Amino acid sequence: MKKTILTGIKPTGQVHLGNYMGAIKPALGLAQVQDYQAAYFVADYHALTKTHDAEEFRQLSYGIAATWLALGLDPEKAIFYRQSDVPEIFELNWVLSCFSPKGLMNRAHAYKSMVDSNQASGKDADLGVNMGLFNYPILMAADILMFKTDIVPVGKDQIQHVEIARDIAEHFNNNYGETFILPEYQIQEDTAVLPGLDGRKMSKSYHNTIPLFAESKNLQKLINKIKTDSLPPEAPKNPDESILFTLYKEFASPDEIAQMKLQYLSGIGWGEAKKELFNVMNNFLEEPREKYNELMSSPERIDAILKEGAEKARAVSSPFLKEIKNKVGFYA
């Protein structure tokens, strides 16, 4: 039987190059593996813990869906849906919450770091904490367990959440017998952490991102903003210490990379290096950007694709939820 691989991205900001390299590109690769049934979804209810502006929420949700599709996710092969379109997940969320020790939630990192930072600045410990944030890992456990997921590809920060899902599944299984599969996380150890405009990790939180689908003029402007040192144009440069080269490598062909390396070693002006970077990046992104913009201007197409995906998802979640409810004692 095929293994189930499942992951979600929450729509809390514009997708940037770091998200693409670190999460989306590897996930798209896994969706091609014959032995896997991939399920990818827009974790919109998770984003509701943070985004409370309706129009922004809607646009960001469409944005995540359009990004996956523009980059080549095939909704015929992968099950691709919106979390909020699968109500069984939320019913399971409640069942699981009755098997989730509160202490486990107290230790979950998103909640804990908020409490810690409140306390460090002498504020009320729970300031700004809503119950959605507190219960976040239980909903994530429901996402994962509902589809009998074997493998969850995630970033390092999500390891704890997958471990919590295993814990909750074990509590339930211990009481009612084997029901849920214990999921494993999969980390892309070899994927580089992409640096942002200021050299730190590219992240929404640092406001140093290059949005994946920035218009080409804007893309050029952002690339020009990348920090470089003050070496003169003719001085040899170390490609391995240059953010420009790190980014170049992600988008250029092996031949182009080898040639560019030589140019760095023999001396290339930063202006020139930026121009070359823009060229390979723009070349790579042009087509998906166009597809993305097309999709964003006809959200009904995105809705139709996601609706079909939700039907496929519910063909799995609906009977499984019945089975779970049966075990719990809801039916005669």
Question: Which residues, in sequence order, are bridge partners of residue 201?
Answer: 195
Pick out residues in 146-205 that bind ligand TRP (CB under 6 A). 152, 154, 158, 161
- How big is the chain, counted in residues? 332
Q: State the amino acid at position 327 in one-letter form.
A: K
Q: Residue 63 touches which of ligand ADP, ligand TRP, none (CB < 5 to 8 A by kind)? A: none
Q: Which residue is nearest to ligand ADP (CB)?
A: 22
Q: Residue 22 touches which of ligand ADP, ligand TRP, none (CB < 5 to 8 A by kind)? A: ligand ADP
Output the smallest distance, CB 41 to ligand TRP, in A. 8
Question: Which residues, at least 6 apart from 197, have a Cβ–Cβ distance to it below 8 Å?
Answer: 208, 209, 210, 222, 225, 226, 227
| Residue 194 or 273 having the CB closest to ligand ADP | 194
Taking CA 8 as the corner, what is the angle to CA 6 and CA 14, rounded to the nearest 5 degrees? 150
Q: State the amino acid at position 305 in one-letter form.
A: I
DSSP 269: -
Question: For residues 259 and 261, what is the distance between their CA atoms, to the nearest angstrom?
Answer: 5
Q: How many CB atoms lie within 10 A of CB 317?
A: 22
Question: For residues 48 and 44, what is the distance between their CA atoms, to the nearest angstrom?
Answer: 7
Question: For residues 326 and 330, what is the distance between their CA atoms, to the nearest angstrom?
Answer: 5
Do 89 and 142 form a contact (C-beta atoms < 8 A)?
yes
| Residue 5 or 302 having the CB closest to ligand TRP | 5
Site map 18..47 versus ligand TRP, x via CB under 6 A:
-------------------------x--x-
Q: Residue 143 touches which of ligand ADP, ligand TRP, none (CB < 5 to 8 A by kind)? A: ligand TRP
* By CB under 6 A, residue 145 contacts ligand TRP: no
| Residue 159 or 328 having the CB closest to ligand ADP | 159
Site map 169..198 versus ligand ADP, x via CB under 6 A:
------------------------xx----
Using CB under 6 A as the criterion, which residues of the chain lie in contact with ligand TRP when the complex forms? 6-8, 10, 43, 46, 140, 143-144, 152, 154, 158, 161
Using CB under 6 A as the criterion, which residues of the chain lie in contact with ligand ADP when the complex forms? 18-19, 21-23, 154-155, 193-194, 201-205
